[in-house]
């Protein structure tokens, strides 16, 4: 059996990054996390840094703005995975430049982990963010760097407890916790963007980590989009609400918001709600996660490639929220 690739994760202390780091370490890949020295000494990051150390992750000091440190870190590994957040999407050109100079990287996974940004009909902040991700794709391809783009769709751990209800979403961003008193999806009334019929895909963050790491040494995912689209996790908004109603034994009042109003809300809201509303518009009104077929020329589907992975279903996730 060939030796497992050494993996460097950039942005590993962030929301999705910590799941990628954990999956890499658990799978036995020599795992490296690029961290700033200030991050290691930050009390708010002590728990996650401690978990990295206890699972055998190698901490590598560096910074996106320090080219030499970036090249030095990259030269130690075979694969680079970026999980940087929205404010650093455009800075990934610096990773591309460092990978090109290092000359040893077998695969680069840029920070994607959402919609396929080449197949969206987005507006507002989502359009801007998706556009930057698409620019990074083109930069990678122009330099001839081997890649995999992970299109993991919605983070179930973020979305399902809130079902995109604006009050709970705002509270999450402000406090990093669910809205005070909100222990799960709504139990009285629910606001649904559009007619609630386009289907979306909901994946548990740990499963996204698992599938991402599975793809690292897989030639079938080389220079492809990896779509995480389990049929059991593909639901319309109406279907999710119906499933939730059955679990709590109660019918919710449903308030449908027409597209025109959603577009107006995007224009009038401030961050982070305008970003959430614009993602909702792309996903739940335009159906951008499921309105195209995955063709072999550009993509592969994770659950088909890795049928051995036991992923968590939406049904199981909602059981925990009852």
Q: Which of 214, 242, 216 is nearest to 304 (CA)?
A: 214
Identify the helix (H) or strand (E) that includes residue 51.
Answer: helix 46-54
Q: Please state, in angstroms and rounded to a whole number, the distance separating the CA atoms of residues 318 and 207.
A: 16
- Angle between helix 237-248 and helix 314-321 axes, rounded to 10 deg: 50
Is 147 within 8 Å of 225 (Cβ atoms)?
no
DSSP 285: I
Q: Please state, in angstroms and rounded to a whole number, the distance separating the CA atoms of residues 234 and 73.
A: 38
DSSP 284: I
Phi then psi dihedrals of residue 172, to 5 deg: -60, -45
Is 190 within 8 Å of 254 (Cβ atoms)?
yes
Query: 3-class SS at 295?
Result: coil
DSSP 122: -
3-state helix, strand, coil in the chain (%, to 5): 45, 15, 40
Single out the catalytic residue among 133, 199, 224, 286: 133
Measure the CA angle with vertex 100, ends 94 and 105; round to 5°. 105
The structure tokens listed for 161 are: 């407890």
Q: Please state, in angstroms and rounded to a whole number, the distance separating the CA atoms of residues 12 and 261.
A: 37
Sign of CA dihedral 26, 28, 34, 35: positive
Query: 3-class SS at 249?
Result: coil
In the block, tokens 């335009």 appear at 286
- The answer to whether 133 is a known catalytic residue is yes
Active site residues: 133
């Amino acid at each position: 059996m060939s030796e497992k690739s050494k993996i460097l994760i950039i942005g590993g202390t962030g929301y999705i990054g910590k799941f990628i780091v954990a999956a890499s370490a658990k799978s036995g890949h020599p795992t490296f996390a690029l961290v700033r020295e200030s991050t290691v000494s930050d009390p708010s990051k002590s728990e996650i840094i401690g978990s990295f150390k206890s699972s055998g992750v190698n901490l590598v000091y560096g910074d996106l703005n320090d080219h030499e440190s970036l090249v030095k870190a990259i030269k130690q590994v075979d694969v680079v995975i970026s999980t940087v957040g929205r404010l650093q999407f455009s800075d990934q050109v610096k990773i591309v430049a460092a990978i090109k100079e290092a000359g040893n990287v077998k695969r680069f996974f840029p920070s994607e982990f959402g919609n396929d940004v080449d197949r969206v009909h987005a507006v507002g902040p989502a359009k801007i963010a998706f556009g930057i991700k698409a620019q990074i794709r083109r930069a990678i391809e122009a330099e001839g760097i081997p890649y995999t783009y992970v299109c993991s769709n919605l983070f179930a751990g973020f979305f399902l407890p809130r079902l995109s209800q604006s009050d709970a979403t705002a509270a999450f961003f402000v406090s990093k916790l669910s809205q005070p008193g909100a222990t799960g999806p709504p139990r009285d009334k629910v606001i649904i963007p559009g007619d609630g019929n386009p289907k979306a895909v909901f994946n548990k963050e740990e499963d996204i980590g698992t599938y991402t790491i599975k793809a690292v040494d897989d030639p079938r995912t080389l220079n492809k989009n990896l779509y995480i689209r389990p049929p059991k996790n593909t639901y319309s908004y109406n279907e999710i609400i119906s499933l939730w109603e059955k679990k709590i034994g109660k019918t919710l009042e449903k308030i449908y918001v027409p597209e025109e109003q959603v577009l107006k809300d995007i224009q009038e809201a401030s961050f982070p709600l305008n970003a959430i509303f614009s993602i909702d518009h792309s996903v739940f009104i335009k159906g951008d996660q499921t309105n195209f077929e995955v063709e072999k020329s550009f993509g592969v589907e994770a659950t088909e490639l890795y049928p051995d992975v036991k992923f968590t279903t939406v049904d199981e996730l909602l059981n925990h929220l009852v």
